[in-house]
Chains A and B, each alone.
Chain A
């Protein structure tokens, strides 16, 4: 059976326009080539904001990029325990050629051994191309370097428990309310009346 010309032409055009989309689909991920390096030394018990890591989607398909810490590349130093590094944001969703910066935080336990630490920050793309039951994935790695110096991290010239700041704020607000009431000249007097049988005390009234 032959297709009529009026039908075959649109179908041919559709096939031709769809062809590049299927034949050039690709997945790709990129990460900054420069290492993620902490300025200065870390100390046991300290918390540090690491420089954010730059990631980019180099493929044609949208994908989410996640960060994990893993020692892959050769290098000197102790392996960074993955639990020491936390990602300050969730996976980032990037379309083709889009890029983002992902924040990292280093938390050094008090029992950490001083010395040079080394691992890789691995950016992994969520997109996968299926090749007949085999999913093909991409990732990209860059070095992670820092040094842990002896001595517990100093807490700075002022340290306070976490509850103190909200407590102080509440006290200040209450003080401001009291001061405002006093400035208006409004007076509230509370009196206790004689107790009656079967009823509680009577709370007073303002004037």
Chain B
């Protein structure tokens, strides 16, 4: 008799266990208000950019004049026209991450003059074409001039950044700087120094700024 009862008890136990989480809601009295919470996501209405560099520093410096003892060392820019990198074109290392954290925008980039630590005579930014042209041989920076290029997996800018923000042609493929929300790019920096420097300071600061810009 007891054995026969198992077939009825087991389904009851299973039903009891599986039904543990279920709670039967009491029926609402007529006229009682009820509500549900719904979450809604909107598109961003902010135009913003965020930059996060990894471990980066100017390195892989080269060129300069060994005869004059002004040849670049690995981490120090030499004269004339020493070249230093943040990141590496050949090793495909791009330490600076630029992320569009807002509404779809064009990402512009600009440089600035280089300032010596002693606040003396700075270096002005020059380009291979345009108004602020580099005055050295073969369109290289002349005295108290320097050039900054940025590079990414999409190649290296060779004309130089300007003081005025311009479309960051290394942000996207085909020279495009259009970025939708969340789009990011990793970039590096190449700096070409002047032929000579009026200021003898050995510490210099340059600033590169990224700006998201509306379509206009």
The residue in A32, A72, A135 that gathers the most chain B C-beta atoms within 10 A of its C-beta is A72
State A134–B108 Cα separation when bound (angstroms). Answer: 17
User: A73, B106: Cβ atoms under 8 Å?
Assistant: yes
Q: Given A24-B52, A75-B216, A122-B211, A32–B96 Cβ distance below 8 Å?
A: no
Contacts of A136 in B (CB 8 A): 51, 53, 96, 207-210
User: B208, A132: Cβ atoms under 8 Å?
Assistant: no
Q: Is B45 an interface residue (CB 8 A)?
A: yes
State A138–B165 Cα separation when bound (angstroms). Answer: 11
Interface residues of A in 121-151 (CB under 8 A from B): 122, 124, 128-129, 131-143
- B interface residue count range (under 10 / 10 to 19 / 20 to 34 / 35 or more): 35 or more
Nearest Cβ on chain A to B131's Cβ, whole angstroms: 16
Name the one of A28, A31, A32 contacting B51, with C-beta atoms under 8 angstroms: A28
User: A133, B58: Cβ atoms under 8 Å?
Assistant: yes
Known: A133-B205, A139-B49. 9 other contacts (CB 8 A): A28-B49, A30-B47, A72-B211, A129-B52, A132-B59, A136-B210, A137-B209, A141-B211, A141-B214
User: A131, B44: Cβ atoms under 8 Å?
Assistant: no
Q: Is A26 an interface residue (CB 8 A)?
A: yes
Q: Is B102 an interface residue (CB 8 A)?
A: yes
Q: Is B159 an interface residue (CB 8 A)?
A: no
Q: Given A30-B102, A33-B47, A138-B49, A143–B208 Cβ distance below 8 Å?
A: no
Seen from chain B, the residues whose Cβ lies within 8 Å of a Cβ on chain A are 44-54, 56-59, 86, 95-96, 101-103, 106, 108, 164-165, 189, 191, 203-216
State A122–B213 Cα separation when bound (angstroms). Answer: 9
State A132–B61 Cα separation when bound (angstroms). Answer: 12
User: A143, B216: Cβ atoms under 8 Å?
Assistant: yes
Interface residues of A in 21-74 (CB under 8 A from B): 23-35, 54, 56, 58-59, 72-74
User: B47, A142: Cβ atoms under 8 Å?
Assistant: yes
Nearest Cβ on chain A to B20's Cβ, whole angstroms: 40
Residue contacts A-B, CB under 8 angstroms, 18 given? A28-B49, A30-B46, A30-B48, A30-B101, A72-B108, A72-B164, A72-B213, A131-B56, A131-B58, A134-B206, A135-B206, A136-B96, A139-B49, A139-B165, A140-B211, A141-B212, A141-B213, A141-B214
User: B102, A140: Cβ atoms under 8 Å?
Assistant: yes
User: A137, B208: Cβ atoms under 8 Å?
Assistant: yes
Listed from nearest, the 7 A-B pairs whose CB atoms lie closest are A132-B57, A30-B48, A28-B50, A75-B216, A26-B52, A74-B216, A137-B209
State A27–B49 Cα separation when bound (angstroms). Answer: 8
Contacts of A58 in B (CB 8 A): 46, 48-50, 101-102
Nearest Cβ on chain B to A27's Cβ, whole angstroms: 5
State A23–B97 Cα separation when bound (angstroms). Answer: 12
Contacts of B216 in A (CB 8 A): 73-75, 118, 143
User: B189, A139: Cβ atoms under 8 Å?
Assistant: no
User: A131, B189: Cβ atoms under 8 Å?
Assistant: yes
Name the one of A32, A129, A135 contacting B47, with C-beta atoms under 8 angstroms: A32
